Amino acid sequence: MTRVKAWISAARLRTLPLSVSGIIVGSALAYNAGAFRWSICILALLATLGFQILSNFANDYGDGIKGTDNEERIGPARAMQSGLLTANQLKTGIVFTAILTSLLSLALIYTAFGSDKFIQSLLFFILGLSAILAAVKYTVGRGAYGYRGLGDFFVFIFFGLVAVVGTYYMYTLNLRKVVFLPALTIGFLSMAVLNLNNMRDRLSDSRSKKNTLAVILGEKKAKIYHYSLIGGAFIASLIFFQLTNTFKYSAAALVVFIPLAKHIKVVRANHSPALLDPQLKKVALATFFFSLLFALGFLF
C-alpha cells in the first residue's frame, strides 16, 4: 500500500459523514432564521473534518501504543496495528492536523465574529482548543478519558451540543431553546455509534483494560443503553417537529428511524460482537441522512 493510501486508511473516511451531521443541522436552522452564510458553512465543515481526522489519528496512535489494537480486535485493521504507519509517523500526522485544524478554527471564528466581538471569539477559541484536546486525549496518555468510560459524554458535547447549537450561534449570534432538541437528536445518535463500536470491542477492550461504558455496563445493560439513545433521539425529534410548524417538510427526516428500529431488533438478538460491525455504518449513515433530509426540507 502506498503512503497516501495508508494515511487515507488512518483517516477512516467512513467516520466523516457522521462528524459533519451536526454542522448540517445547525446550518439548516440558521438558513431558516435567514442568517445562513456559505463562508461560515464551508469553514465549519472543514474544521469539523479536521477535528474528526485528528481524533482518528490520535485514536490509532493511542490504542496502538497501549496494545489495545491487537489480533483480538474486531473491525477494520488500524494503520499502526497493521504496520502501515509507524508511531512516529502518526505523531507527526497528529501535530500537523492539529495545527491545520487550529488555523481553520481561527478563520471560522474571525469570519463569524469579526474583530469586535471579543467575548464570543474567546469563548469559541476555548471551545476549539477543548475540541482539539478532546480529540487527542480520547486514547492518548495516562489520563485518556476513553479508557475511563467518558467517551460517550464528550461525543454528546462536541457532536451534539457544540456542533448544532454552536454552529447556529455562529450564524445568528443568538440562541433559541428549540435548537437544543435537534442537538439532542444528533448527540444521542452519535453516542449510539460510539456505543455500538464499544459493544463490538467489549471483550477485547476489557482484556486490554480499556474501560469503555460498554465494558462497565456489560452486554445486557449496554444494549438497554443503546435502545435508550436511539429512542431518546426519536423523542427529541418528535417534540421538535411538534413545536415548530414551520419545519413540517424537514419532518421527513424522521423516516431514518424506520431502519433504526430494524437495527434495534438486530442488536437485541445479537450474541456475537463481530456481527455488530456492519451495524456501525447503518447508524452513522442514518444520522447523516437525518441531517440531509432535515436540511433539504427547507428547500420546500
Residue 271's SS3 state is: coil
Cell numbers 469570519 label which residue?
111
Residue among 128, 65, 52, 68 nearest 91 (CA): 65
| Secondary structure of residue 174 in the 3-state scheme | coil
Question: In this structure, are residues 199 and 223 in contact, taking their beta carbons and an 8 Å threshold?
Answer: yes
Dist. CA 13–CA 73, nearest whole Å:
19
Mean pLDDT, the chain, whole residue set: 90
Task: From 26, 97, 14, select the one nearest 291 (Cα to Cα).
Answer: 26
Q: In the numeric block, which cell numbers belong to residue 150?
A: 467518558
Total Cβ atoms within 10 A of residue 206:
15
Using CA atoms, how far apart are residues 197 and 119, in angstroms rounded to an integer?
A: 38
Question: 3-state DSSP call for residue 84?
Answer: coil
Predicted confidence (pLDDT) per residue in 14-51, tens digit:
889 999 999 999 999 999 999 999 999 999 999 999 99
In this structure, the number of other CB atoms found within 10 A of the CB of residue 278 comes to: 10
- pLDDT, greater one: 82 or 243: 243
In this predicted model, what pLDDT tens digit does every residue of 76-108 receive, in sequence order?
666 676 677 788 888 999 999 999 999 999 999
Q: Give CA angle at 180 (177, 182), nearest 5°.
A: 130
Show me where the domains of the chain are located.
3-299
Helices 87-113/38-66 angle, 10° precision: 160
Rounded to a whole number of angstroms, the CA Rg of the chain reads 19
- What type of residue is 73? R
Higher pLDDT, 129 or 300: 129
